[in-house]
Amino acid sequence: MSNNLVIVESPAKAKTIEKFLGKNYKVVASIGHIRDLPKSTMGVDFDNDFEPKYINIRGKGDLIKSLKSAAKKADHVFLATDPDREGEAIAWHLAYILGVDANSDCRVTFHEITKDAIKSAVKAPRAIDINLVDAQQARRVLDRIVGYSISPILWRKVKKGLSAGRVQSVATKLICDRERDILNFIPQEYWKIEAVTDLIVDKEPLSLEFYGNQNGKIVPQNENEVNQILSNTKDQPAIISKVEKRKKLRNPSAPFITSSLQQEASNKFGFTTKKTMIIAQQLYEGINIKGQGSVGLITYMRTDSTRISDIAKDACRKFILDNFGENMLATEEKKQKTAKNAQDAHEAIRPTMVELTPESVEESLTKDQLKLYELIWSRFVSSQMASAEYEAHSVEATVSDYIFKVNGSRLLFEGFLKVYNSGTQSDRILPELNEGEALKVSHFDPTQHFTQPPARFTEASLVKEMEEKGIGRPSTYAPTITTILSRGYVDKEKKSLKPTELGFIIDEIMSDYFTRIVDIDFTADMENRFDDIEEGDVLWKDVIRNFYQPFIEMIEKADQEIEKVDLTEETDIDCEKCGKKMLIRQGRYGKFLACSDYPNCDNTKPILKKLGIKCPQCEDGEIIERKSKKLKVFYGCSEFPKCNFVSWDMPIDKKCPKCGDLLVIKKNKKQEVIKCHNATCDYIEQN
């Protein structure tokens, strides 16, 4: 009877897998990396062709001892870390530390944690793929060189504790460039005109929107142009000139990849990219399902391929047939677009067992786990369902020499929308109209508009932009955003990402002195180089070597030419400890007040954002804006902790007419209302 050791990355995954493999297998966790570059030094030997100087990670000594002990007792060691570059590198480091031959059949990979997948994987071990390892080494070494070379310059020239990463600097640049576009935006006036007819549809008069004339579209730029159109159309009927009806198909989306899951979870639930990945990891590694034990509910969540296995596809189609009927089944396989750089060995993110519906596992999941699982399950099932069918209805009418249009649609066949609908399209039924028919125009309704600046990035739209431009890979989106937020380069205002003053300063330095690093095309091309290494087409040290010499020249130039940036601002505020003036300094979590006589006086205090409203509870303090440990804005009394008044909703300087308490602005996804702060009072008004 053989004694087998299986090493995975997380204890949760170990628990799930051990249940499947039985008593001849012991499953333990490495808890991520056990060997890495040192934190205190560069860790790259430039005199020895960029050889990495790996060390055992501090604090993992006892774990390494226990792994070595378990490996000695085992007849066979299987390294079952995640099925990507990072996982391959962890397996390679484990093999080195445990004395396992990397060329032996020691590596096991799987994309879902189910009994069949795990047993099949263990029966088909392979050697460690050194090309995958080298692709990870290239990224790790390149990022270390960039970060540990530029960061000290930022410490000397700007402020201690700053960092400049290869991908994070490009992400910061995207956000800064968008903010500059917003600041430089000049609104342009334009007008819309509606011809309101006396024909009633769904209790509302039918309106047609101004389009232009026979020569094409016209957008009125000012009131004079509008008045000219109105004078030419005065008292004229709307003659129906064209009526079209056509069937229109709406196809289901492909199953999720990492980026699309992050975007949809953000749009639907307001999840951050980090939160989405944490929950997805839990669903992948195993949830304790009532009556079944620990079950991996979804496939591996770091992927850029929309491919699904034939077994999963067949199971899904059978489920649709049994539960929705043959007419709801897609009649032909839909060709899904896959990014040219996608690692197609991976599958899309899908449920491991389509029979485990969200309803069947609801009791075993947290509220957020259920939301994400239901999203993944419904997107996957819908991808194999029939297209939705609409009847699109368009009407054109001429009023004098001008064309007015109106469009409508009616859902004929629900198809995949029965399971998954990411849009908000609803029926708009138009009346039966015939060409040549005349409608009386009761009045024209002109409205003035102004063009809007581009929207700030949200986490979802930034991920989409990074994906489209080839910046980073599925595993890097969430940590990149987390880093630029934690460094104070970017703030979150509601869901929008806005660069801070510090973010602009860092971006200007990077753009002026490290143009190549923040160049989007260069960053995308570097990702392609990593892919080439993975394919075995390029040696990883050649990639580093070609990058290094021009980079060192940039470093030397920057160190000589960048002038020191003073982030402090003077104030008229006296320090209550020593009487010297306080300065505004930039910290990790934003600006704060600090004594100018530091280090002799170490007095600091927060900069209070006052709302100009007296505290309704103690009447001595003022209501100020605060931030929780998770940086969520709330409102409290300036006399805290003496007064414990707190509100998540922004108070306004107005009393409730019903009970006399303070009124607050309550915001949700759909609207903004004014309500009473007193939970027992039901007063509410529209804002």
Catalytic residues: 300
Return the DSSP state at 671: -
Cβ of 517: how many Cβ atoms within 10 Å? Answer: 23
Structure tokens at 310: 């034939």
Q: Which residues contact 429 (CB under 8 A, 6 or more apart)?
A: 201, 202, 393, 408, 410
Longest CA–CA separation in the chain, Å: 96
* Alpha helical stretches, state H, 452-500: 459-468, 477-486
Place of tokens 């989106």: 477
Our CA dihedral for 468, 471, 476, 481, rounded to 10 degrees, sits at -90
Give the count of alpha carbons within 13 A of 319, CB side only: 21
Q: What angle do CA 9, 15, 21 make, to 5 degrees?
A: 100
Reference 348, options 261, 449, 256, 251; nearest CA is 256
**In this structure, are residues 348 and 299 in contact, taking their beta carbons and an 8 Å threshold?**
yes
* Whole-angstrom distance, CA of residue 485 vs CA of residue 463: 14
* Whole-angstrom distance, CA of residue 666 vs CA of residue 677: 9
* Whole-angstrom distance, CA of residue 221 vs CA of residue 446: 12
Q: Which residues contact 632 (CB under 8 A, 6 or more apart)?
A: none
* Whole-angstrom distance, CA of residue 81 vs CA of residue 110: 9
* Whole-angstrom distance, CA of residue 372 vs CA of residue 162: 35
Reference 344, options 303, 312, 313; nearest CA is 303
* Whole-angstrom distance, CA of residue 60 vs CA of residue 10: 14
Cα 358 to the chain's mean position, in Å? Answer: 23
Reference 238, options 431, 400, 408; nearest CA is 400
Give the count of alpha carbons within 13 A of 90, CB side only: 23
**In this structure, are residues 454 and 177 in contact, taking their beta carbons and an 8 Å threshold?**
no
